Amino acid sequence: MPSKGRSNIKRVISNASHGLLRRSANSEAITPQLPQNTKHVSTINKLPIEILEQIFVHCLPGPLTFVIPTPFDAPLLLCTVCRLWRSTAISMPELWCSMKITEKFSVKFVGTWLSRAKTCPLSIAFTLDARAPHASLPFHSKRLHKHFDLLLPLSHLWQSLEIRVLPGAPLSHLDKLLDNALPSLERLVLRFPRGTRMYSEKRSLEHVFRSCSRLRQVFVFGDNSIFSMTMFLWLPSPHLEIVCTDSLWYPAECVGFLSRMLDLKQGFFRLGHLTPLVPVSLPPSPVVLKYLRTLSLQTFTSLTDLFTHLTLPALIFLRINFGRVDSWSHSAFISFLSSFSSNLTTLHLDGPPILEATLIEYLQLLPSLDELGLTDRSRIGTIGNELLSSLTYRGEDSEAIAYLCPKLTVLELFSVHACTDEHLVEMLDSRWRRQVLAHHDDLSQTPPLCLKGFRLGLRRKATAFLSTRLNTMRNEGLLVEYRGSNK
Cα separation of the two ends of the chain: 98
CA distance 319 to 321: 7
428-451 residue pLDDT tens:
998 887 643 434 445 444 445 688
pLDDT beyond 80 at 173: no
User: Is residue 109 very low, low, confident or very high in pLDDT (cuts 50, 70, 90)?
Assistant: very high
pLDDT at 202 > cutoff 80: no
Average pLDDT, integer, range 86-111: 91
Rounded CA separation 221/233 (Å): 16
Across 154-167, average pLDDT: 87
- pLDDT, mean of residues 169-188: 78
Residue 140 pLDDT level (bands cut at 50, 70, 90): very low
165 vs 96: CA distance, rounded Å: 24
Q: Which residues pair with 353 in a beta bridge?
A: none
CA distance 78 to 84: 10
Q: Which pLDDT value is given to residue 260?
A: 85
Q: What is the dihedral of CA 357, 410, 241, 251, to 10 degrees?
A: 20
Query: Which percentage of the chain shows pLDDT scores above 90?
Result: 39
Cβ neighbours of 482 (radius 10 Å): 17
pLDDT band per the 50, 70, 90 thresholds, residue 56: very high
Q: 396 or 218: which carries more pLDDT confidence?
A: 218
State how far the Cα of 374 lies from the Cα of 382, in Å rounded to an integer. Answer: 9
Q: What is the pLDDT of residue 311?
A: 94
Q: Is the dihedral of CA 36, 38, 43, 47 positive or negative?
A: negative
Region of poorest pLDDT, from 12-26, 186-200, 314-328: 12-26
Looking at residue 137, its pLDDT comes to 38
Quick one: CA torsion of 56, 61, 66, 70, rounded to 10 degrees? Answer: -70
- 106/80 Cα distance (integer angstroms): 20
Provide the CB-side half-sphere exposure for 297 (13 A, CA).
23
Higher pLDDT, 44 or 223: 44
What is the per-residue pLDDT for 249? Answer: 83
Q: What is the pLDDT of residue 149?
A: 81
Instruction: Report the C-alpha gap between 304 and 172 in whole angstroms.
Output: 40
Return the higher-pLDDT residue of 100 and 199: 100
> What's the average model confidence in pLDDT over 253-280?
81
State yes or no: pLDDT of 200 exceeds 50. Answer: no
* pLDDT tens column, 28-45: 555 555 455 555 556 777
pLDDT of the residue at 338: 93
Decide: 89 and 75 in contact? Cβ < 8 Å: yes
Q: Which residues of 205-226 are buried (b: 16+ CB within 10 A; e: fewer)?
A: eeebbbbbeebbbbbbebebbe
Q: What is the mean pLDDT of residues 421-431?
A: 92
Cα distance between residue 374 and residue 109, in whole Å = 50
Distance CA 107, CA 145 (A): 10
Question: In angstroms, what CA-CA distances link 75 with 79, 87, 151, 160, 471?
Answer: 7, 12, 20, 19, 45
Local structure of residue 199 (DSSP, 8 states): T
Predicted pLDDT at 201: 45
Given pLDDT bands bounded at 50, 70 and 90, which one contains residue 135? very low
The pLDDT score that the predictor gives to residue 47 is 82
Kindly report the pTM of this predicted structure: 0.80
Does the pLDDT value for residue 160 go beyond 90? Answer: yes
State which fold the 96-236 domain adopts: 3.80.10
Q: What is the pLDDT of residue 224?
A: 57
* pLDDT value of residue 328: 82
CA distances from 332 to 75, 149, 172 (A): 54, 52, 45
DSSP letter at 177 equals P
- C-alpha–C-alpha distance, residues 10 and 1, integer Å: 13
Of 146 and 310, the structure prediction assigns the larger pLDDT to: 310
pLDDT at 323: 83
Mean pLDDT for the chain overall: 80
CA distance 408 to 452: 9
pLDDT of residue 365: 94
CA distance 365 to 363: 5
State yes or no: cis peptide before 75, omega within 30 of 0: yes
Q: What is the pLDDT of residue 177?
A: 77
Residue predicted with more confidence, 394 or 115: 115
Q: Delimit the domains of the chain by residue range.
A: 96-236
Inform me whether the pLDDT recorded for 408 exceeds 70: yes
Least confident of 121-135, 261-275, 437-451: 437-451
Task: Check residue 366 and give its pLDDT.
Answer: 95
Residue 147: which pLDDT band, with cuts at 50, 70 and 90?
confident
* Predicted pLDDT of residue 148: 81
pLDDT, tens digit, 9 for 90 and up, residues 68-96:
999 998 999 999 988 889 999 999 999 99
